A and B are shown apart, each in its own frame.
Chain A
Amino acid sequence: MRAPAARGRLGSAATYAFLLGLLLIVVFPFYWMTVTSLKSEDQMRSLVSMFWPSPMVLDNYRQLLGRTDFVAWFGNSAVVAVSSTLLATAIGTIGAYALARLRFLGRAFMSSAVLITYLVPPAILFIPLYAQIRMLGLADSRAGLIVTYPSFTVPFVTWLLMGYFESIPEELEESAMIDGATRFGAFWRIILPLAAPGVMAAALYAFTQAWNEFLYALVFITDVKLRTLPVGLSTFITGDVYGWGYLMAGAVLTTLPVIAAYIYLQKYMVEGLTAGSVKG
């Protein structure tokens, strides 16, 4: 403001330098993963054409798709993440509306329970949950993951959307109900459409959480064909050069759906992230 222009220019140069440095550190691993996935084993082994593959080859992708269980794992991840997201979003949306808006016995208690549940770490629950899943005959099945993932996605979705519903003016429902709408009708036709961006953000986060989940998938699934992507990929760690090529190809294909969704829906996700923990 009062600083001379030269100092301001210097300050903004330092700002861009810091941001650029951060940007490089953030982007490099993804660049490196992509470059690696397009190299031949020879290029990797002899440390040639380090930063740009020449020639660029698709051998790793062919190997990955043709000779590993990657396609099956991708399918498993998709089925598990989509199903558990739909389940969690439905449960979380109506629950959040009730906890944010309706007055009934136990509401305050349940609001606290949801928040506490959101904060309880999975590392405490995975062993007893595994015992439960086995008892129900759901060990080694995608269904076992679909029913357990809501244990962390539902509290998150509910907490995020409670904040969203609270920010919608109550008068909208009140006037709808004066016009003869039922409580449910007011929710369904007035509030839910207004909350759509929030529901969208919540669903996206639930999806990425389910898509990325590792510990439960590692513990509950032993059948190689039923693995999800994160666990499947990590079993590619063999230490030899050849493994790195198709491992990185798999990493690229695992990241793509998440990054694509993120680029497309960045605005919702940035808002959702802050709404999840703090008032934005």
Chain B
Amino acid sequence: MAISTARLPGTLTGQPRRSGLARWLGPDYRLGLLFVLPIVVLVLALVAYPFGYAVYLSMTRKYVGLPPVFVGLENYVKLTGDGFFRRAVQNSFVFTFGSVAVKLVIGMGMALLLNSHLRFRSFWTGVLLIPWVAPTVVSALNFLWIFDYSLGVLNYLLVRVLHVLPQGVGWLSEPGTAMASVIGVNIWRGFPFFGISFLAGLKSIPAELYEAAAVDGAGALQRFRHVTLPGLKNILIIVVLLSTIWTFNDFQIVYILTKGGPGGTTQVLPVFTYEMAFGAQRLGEAIAVALYMLPAMAAVIIVLARYMRRGRRA
């Protein structure tokens, strides 16, 4: 093989003598750089460059088909005072924290139950994971149909079968219920990820800890507080932060269910960005919308990356 380096690791043979350059590049540099090269190209071309270009475009006035005109931070300043933008920011936070909080609770319940003595455990696990693997668009369309005002099955059940409502509700078309409905769909899709990750974490907590706690007279709640929660801490933080990023940037569910309506009550930032770019054709401002939250998001990403690396090394 032409690309072989055919060197034994230093731990086995003692560090072989090498020229300064080879030592600087590392013992496996030939195969290493060759294997990593495609990723380097990909990250530069598809992530780093577009990202840099996005930062530049956000500081321009840019319309489709016309060259960009540099305007500095004007787009950001304008957005700060823009009522539609501020509402989208607020909605994004409600959407994100509402979803993540409920997913956390349901996911924890799912994990604790799946970790208890249970018949057909792999069946339950398998079925409960389905919303996570099914295409999101399909799920969103299913709920669009379930929530339909006149022919949807939810209103049918509540009005004609269970008789709990005198008449149907426009789940997605009334300002009072639209946000709760899109949050509900996001929870439906996302809770299995919490559940299955917590389950993996629960399995790694040594049984002796629970036995010791029980010997010391700790009740179920105390065991949960003092053994389970500390044992899950890392996974808990990782899953919550991951889900926060994903939920904050969720485009499909809101786009398909409400497109931000009715009257902007479910308008979240990704949909706002899309509509400004491809509806209003104002690209510079659209990218400024997408990047406005970047400092906060970058902080989350850096903390999360640190925890994910630590989780790997543990």
What secondary structure prevails in chain B residues at the interface with A? Answer: helix
On whether A123 and B273 interact (CB within 8 A), knowing A184-B1, A184-B31, the answer reads yes
With an 8 A cutoff between CB atoms, is A76 at the interface?
no
Looking at chain A's contact residues, the main secondary structure is helix
8 Å CB contacts to B: which residues of A192-244? 208, 211-212, 214-215, 219, 229-231, 233-234, 237, 241, 244
With A22-B128, A125-B54, A128-B57 given, is the CB distance from A234 to B49 under 8 Å? no
CB distance from A121 to the nearest CB of B (A): 4
Instruction: Knowing A18-B109, A182-B1, say if A214 contacts B290 (CB, 8 Å).
Output: no
Q: Which residues from chain A sit less than 8 Å from chain B, CB to CB?
A: 1-2, 12, 15, 18-19, 22-23, 25-27, 29-30, 32-33, 36, 44-45, 47, 50, 91-92, 94-95, 97-99, 101-107, 110-117, 119-129, 131-132, 147-148, 150-151, 154-155, 158, 162-163, 166, 170, 174, 177-178, 182-185, 187, 208, 211-212, 214-215, 219, 229-231, 233-234, 237, 241, 244, 247-248, 251, 254-255, 258-259, 262-263, 266, 269-270, 273-274, 277-280
The answer to whether A12 touches B117, judged by C-beta atoms less than 8 angstroms apart, is yes
Q: What is the minimal beta-carbon distance from A146 to any residue of chain B, in angstroms? A: 12
Which one of B126, B156, B242 contacts A47 once the chains associate, using CB atoms below 8 Å? B156
The residues of A that contact B12 with a CB separation of less than 8 Å are: 174, 178
**In this assembly, does B230 line the interface, its C-beta being within 8 Å of a C-beta of chain A?**
no
Residues of A close to B106: CB separation below 8 A: 22
Interface size on B, residues (CB 8 A): 115
Please tell me if the beta carbons of A278 and B238 are within 8 angstroms of each other in the complex: yes
| Most chain A beta carbons < 10 A, residue from B145, B269, B291, B314 | B145
A128 and B153 form a contact (CB under 8 A):
no
Residues of B within 8 A of A115 (CB): 305, 308-309
Picked from A103, A151, A280, the residue with its CB within 8 Å of the CB of B26 is: A103
On whether the beta carbons of B43 and A117 are closer than 8 Å, the reply is yes
Provided the pairs A26-B130, A254-B138, A277-B238 are in contact, do residues A244 and B26 lie with their beta carbons within 8 angstroms?
no
